[in-house]
Amino acid sequence: MKIESTEFGGWANCLRLVNDHAELIVTLDVGPRVISYCHLPGGKNVLKTNPEELGKSGEDHFVGRGGHRFWLAPETERTYLPDNVPVTSELLPDGVRLESFAGAIKKELTLTLATETSTVTLTHRATNTGAEPATLATWGITVMEPGGLEIIPRPPLGEHPRDLLPNRLLVLWPYTDTSDDRWRWGREFITLRQTPHSPPTKLGLRHRMGWVGYLMRSALFIKKVHFEEGATYPDFGCNYETFTNAHMLELGSLSPLRTVAPGESVGHTEAWRLFGSLPEPGSLKESDLAEWLAPFLAKLDHP
C-alpha cells in the first residue's frame, strides 16, 4: 500500500491511497471527505460525486459534493454546518487522519487501507471543544452511484409462540411510502432499488446483522456496520439509515447518541470492501441472491 499526492475533480490537494486491489482518494481542500473508491487502481469510482460542486471551497453554506462525508446526528442545524475549508492531515503507516471543525465540534476521520485486499477502515470521532455539554452522534454517510440495488440482511425469522419478544426495529420518515415498488420486503433481505425520477424515501434500522451491500453493474460494495448492545442511538434507536432520491443512494452508519462534556468524544468505526469484475446474479430471488452473496460475505474478515 502506498500514499501519494494527487489531483481530483479540480482540487489540487488530495491524497491517493492505493494497493493492488483498490484505490481511495481523499481531498484535503474540504471535508473530511472521501471522494473516490475504486476496484483496482484507476478503476471506476463507485461513489457518486456532483461534478458542479467539485474543485470548489470556501462556500458559506453546506455543499453535498458526494463521496463519503462525516456528519453529526441528530439532523439539526449543526448537521449542516459547512465543511468547506481545508482539513488538517496526518499520514499514518497504512492511512491518513483528517481533522476539521464544525462549530465547537472537532471531527476526526481516520482511514486505513489494507495491504492485501480492498478493505478500508473508517473511524469517525467527534470531540466537544466548546464550553458546554453537547448531545450528538457521529454519522458516516456513503453516497453511492445511481442505478444500483441496496441489500439489507434481516434477522432469521422466528416462530410463535416460542419467540414472544420483538427482535427488529424499523423507523420510517414522513415522506417514506411503504407501497413504493423500489422497496422489497423479503424474508431474508430488504432491498431498495435506486431509480431516476423517483421521490425521496428513507428507512432507519436497529441493525445487528453487521453489513449492508450495494450491487451496481459488475461491482459489489459492502459496508460493515457495528451495533453496540445497550447503547442509545439517534432517531428512535437507529445505528443504520438509508436514503435515496432520483440521483443517488446513501448508506449511513451511526454511533451511539451520547452527551459529551467539554473535551470528551463520541465515535464509531465502519469498514468497506469492494469486489469488482463480477458476473451479476442469475436472478434477484432471495434464494439466488443469498447463494450469490455467500462467497463474498465469507471474505469480509479474510483475504
Query: Mean pLDDT score of the chain, rounded to an integer?
Result: 96
Q: Which three cell numbers stand for residue 277?
A: 469484475
pLDDT of residue 94: 94
| Digit-coded pLDDT (tens) for 187-199 | 999 999 999 988 9
**Is the pLDDT score of 117 beyond 70?**
yes
pLDDT of residue 301: 75
Q: Which three cell numbers stand for residue 197?
A: 425520477
What's the distance, Cα to Cα, between the start and end of the chain in Å? 15
pLDDT of residue 303: 62
**Four-CA torsion 165, 171, 176, 179, nearest 10 degrees:** -10
Mean pLDDT of 285-298: 94
pLDDT of residue 202: 98
Contact 262, 133 (CB under 8 A): yes
Alpha-carbon distance of 86 to 98, in angstroms, equals 10
**Is the pLDDT score of 37 beyond 80?**
yes
Residue 246: half-sphere exposure toward Cβ, Cα within 13 Å: 4
Alpha-carbon distance of 24 to 118, in angstroms, equals 9
The residues near 236 (Cβ < 8 Å, ≥ 6 apart) are: 169, 171, 204
| Digit-coded pLDDT (tens) for 208-248 | 999 999 999 889 999 999 999 999 999 999 999 999 999 99
Contact 240, 268 (CB under 8 A): no
Residue identified by cell 483496482 is 40
Alpha-carbon distance of 259 to 264, in angstroms, equals 9
pLDDT of residue 38: 97
**Of the options 3.30.70, 2.70.98, 2.60.40, 1.10.3470, the CATH number for the domain spanning 74-298:** 2.70.98
Residue 169 is which amino acid?
Answer: L
Domain ranges within the chain, ordered by starting residue: 74-298
| Digit-coded pLDDT (tens) for 6-15 | 999 999 999 9
Give me the percent of the chain exceeding a pLDDT of 90: 93
| 60: alpha, beta or left? (left if phi > 0; alpha if psi -120 to 50) | alpha
Q: What is the pTM of this model?
A: 0.97
Alpha-carbon distance of 187 to 197, in angstroms, equals 28
Cα 104 to the center of its chain, rounded Å: 24
151 phi, psi to nearest 5 deg: -125, 115
Give me the percent of the chain exceeding a pLDDT of 70: 99
Structure-model confidence comparison of residues 162 and 279, the more confident one: 162
Best CA proximity match to 209, nearest among 183, 234, 239, 237: 239
Alpha-carbon distance of 257 to 137, in angstroms, equals 5
**Is the pLDDT score of 59 beyond 80?**
yes
